[in-house]
Each structure stands twice: as C-alpha cells, then as structure tokens.
Amino acid sequence: MQSNDTADWSDDELFEHHSFIASKGQDPLRVDKFLLNFIEYATRNKIQQAAKSGHIWVNGSIVKQNYKVKPGDEVKVLLEHPPHEFLLVPEDIPLDIVYEDDVLLVVNKPAGMVVHPGHGNYSGTLINALLHHIQDLPVNSNERPGLVHRIDKDTSGLLVVAKTEAAMTHLAKQFFDKTSEREYVAMVWGNVEDEEGTIEGNIARNPKNRLQMQVFPEGDEGKEAVTHYKVLERLGYVTLVSCKLETGRTHQIRVHMKYIGHTLFNDERYGGDKILKGTTFTKYKQFVDNAFKLLPRQALHAKTLGFVHPVTGEQMRFDSEIPADMVQCIEKWRHYSKHSQ
C-alpha cells in the first residue's frame, strides 16, 4: 500500500486529502472500513459523511461506502479539516517543565496528551500549550513548532523542545547522528528470555493497516531501526524492560517488542489489550482486567533523555519518575507474581 497525504485549502471549504493504493494482499473490504484502517483519528461518521457527499473515489470513480476494495485499487477521500493556522492556537494548558533556558526546554509529557495538532486532535496538544508558554517557536521541516522529536499520545515522558532555529538544527543533528540518549521503561507480555539484547529490523507502515507499523527484517522496505533492551524485573507473565533507542522510528519500541514476541502490556493498537500470556482461570482474567483499568494505555514511559547543549556544549541528562498509573500496575503484577508461585 502506498499513500500520499496532501492538504488543499479554499476560503469556503476545507479538506484533507488522502490517497491510498491497496496492496496486492488486500482482502475484499468495504471502503469505509478500509479507510478507518488507514486514517488516524478518522471516525466512521466522518467517512460515511464523505461517502454521502460523493467525496470517496476508487480508480477515479465516485463510490458508496459499501464498495469492496480490491488489490491495486486507488482509493481517494476528502475530509473536512481546519486550516493550518487554526491548529496552531496558543492554549493555556499547564506544562510539567523539567528544565528551561533561553534556547531550549525539557518537558515531561503526560499520557493522553497529543504532541502536535492533526486530524481529530485540533486542540489540547503539547504544541498548543508550548505556543502559550513561548511567543516565537522555530518551525521544523514538518511545520511543527519547536519539535525535535516526539512520543506517542499514550506514552508518557521526556521531550526536548527547541526555542531557536540554531538550537533546533543542532539538536536535530544529534538525533540524526544517534548521539542523543533516549531510554524508555516498558512492561511487556511474557517472560523475556535473554537478560539483554538488540532488536534490528527496518520499520515501515503495515501495508494492510496504515495505523500500524511493521518490521521488515529483510530491509526491503522502511527505515533502519535499532533498539537495545535490558530486563529490569521479571513479574511472572509480564516483564519490565529498559529500552534504549539508537534510532527513533514511529512506534519503534512497540513494534520491535511485538516482533520478538513481547507486545507491550495494554497496547491496544498492537493487540496488547488481550491476555497474551498466562492461565485460563477466571480469577486471572479478572486480575488482568483490573490491571488494564489501572493502566488504560500502553505501558511505556520515556524515562531518560540526554543530549549536548547546543550553546554551552555541556552534556545534559534528565531523568523522570515513572508515572503513578504505571507504578500501580507494576506493583499489582509484582504482588501477583509473588503470591501465585
């Protein structure tokens, strides 16, 4: 599946344009369900409205929402979307700022906060909060103010934000050159066999579901990705691990850990919200359900961040506490593993 996302603005109608080519292995699937798999934050209602308005095309012809997509079909859709300047509105949202000076700041992002505005998340993002805190943020190549890197909506933890063009260039080069330090703590399904290891495998969009990424071990698709992991604690049917990123691909830890058979605990997008390891006892199922309620997101926290200061040349290193929801879930598993031997 190939995709091409562009945006066309006009004074009276605002649309986001998406174009996809169904992969050779695509099973026949209703076009509305197909598009739900490929457009993040789109809703069935929005897609059905697009169909009613004649804004879904397959191979150049308008289709209804029940059209079955076949391999090789070119699917296009126009969705209502606010203009770019509407997305970049300062909002008075509290920020947990760990460090700040004239050229950069380090922020501890809570789980549930989207980093930058996009389809379905037009406000309440980290960017909206930053624009209220800082008057003039430099814009990166994707027109995202201040961002040098990002973390997923439901991942908590540390991010560095550039306040000047020079700082952004300097910091971006460190991430590109793999000289920055990024360590995450994750809880994954299963008992990870090796005490430590390295996962290598190119990452690209899953051809059957664009909302997921996938490992391509042959290196024929995607971008190089390297994750170093180390076991921190074994908790029976789950394991607490440290993951150090050498590269920073979308969903890298989530995809790499699933690739080696250890999906992140309660990672809905990659199937971690199901019982992947353990017993069939009803009591155990209830225990896991309660653990999911304690931690209603993937068990992933960006704990440590290190880089060279773009002005002083000083090595900066920041560490953050694992958030309460994740701590409570870890404690629950710790107690279970001790008392179920």
Question: Distance between terminal CA atoms of the chain?
Answer: 47
Contacts of 224 (CB under 8 A, 6+ apart): 200, 202, 247
Please give the pLDDT value at position 13.
Answer: 36
* Structural domains of the chain, with CATH: 2-81 (3.10.290.10), 85-176 (3.30.2350.10), 181-339 (3.30.2350.10)
Please give the pLDDT value at position 116.
Answer: 82
Please give the pLDDT value at position 89.
Answer: 85
* Tokens 């190089």 -> residue: 224
Check if the beta carbon of residue 117 is closer than 8 Å to that of residue 7: no
Question: Distance (Å, rounded) from C-alpha 52 to C-alpha 73?
Answer: 20
pLDDT truncated to tens, each residue of the chain (341 aa)? 443 332 222 223 335 678 888 888 888 999 999 998 888 767 788 888 888 888 899 998 889 999 999 999 999 888 765 555 556 889 999 999 999 999 999 999 999 998 987 666 678 899 999 999 998 888 776 667 889 999 999 999 999 999 999 999 999 999 999 999 999 999 999 999 999 999 999 999 888 777 789 999 888 889 999 999 999 999 999 999 999 999 999 999 999 999 999 999 999 999 999 999 999 999 999 999 999 999 999 999 999 999 999 999 999 999 999 999 999 999 999 999 988 76
Please give the pLDDT value at position 8.
Answer: 26
CA angle 227/228/234 to nearest 5° reads 115
Has 267 been annotated as catalytic?
no
Query: How many other CB atoms are there within 10 angstroms of residue 215's CB atom?
Result: 22
In the DSSP assignment, the letter for residue 261 is T
H helices of 159-296, where?
165-176, 252-259, 282-294
Contacts of 270 (CB under 8 A, 6+ apart): 212, 251, 254, 255, 258, 263, 264
Question: Distance (Å, rounded) from C-alpha 51 to C-alpha 32?
Answer: 8
Q: Which residues of 35-57 are buried (b: 16+ CB within 10 A; e: fewer)?
A: bbbbbeebeeebbeebbeeebbb
Please give the pLDDT value at position 314.
Answer: 97
Please give the pLDDT value at position 202.
Answer: 95
Question: Distance (Å, rounded) from C-alpha 172 to C-alpha 174?
Answer: 5
User: What SS3 state is found at 205?
Assistant: strand
Please give the pLDDT value at position 302.
Answer: 98
Check if the beta carbon of residue 56 is closer than 8 Å to that of residue 75: yes
Residue from 73, 152, 154, 267 carrying the catalytic annotation: 152
pTM of structure:
0.78
Q: Which residues of 154-188 are buried (b: 16+ CB within 10 A; e: fewer)?
A: bbbbbbbbbbbeebbebbbebbeeeebbbbbbbbb
Please give the pLDDT value at position 14.
Answer: 37
Check if the beta carbon of residue 54 is closer than 8 Å to that of residue 43: no
Please give the pLDDT value at position 18.
Answer: 80
Check if the beta carbon of residue 149 is closer than 8 Å to that of residue 248: yes
- State how far Cα 184 lies from the chain centre: 14
Please give the pLDDT value at position 81.
Answer: 57
Question: Distance (Å, rounded) from C-alpha 336 to C-alpha 331?
Answer: 8
In the DSSP assignment, the letter for residue 172 is H
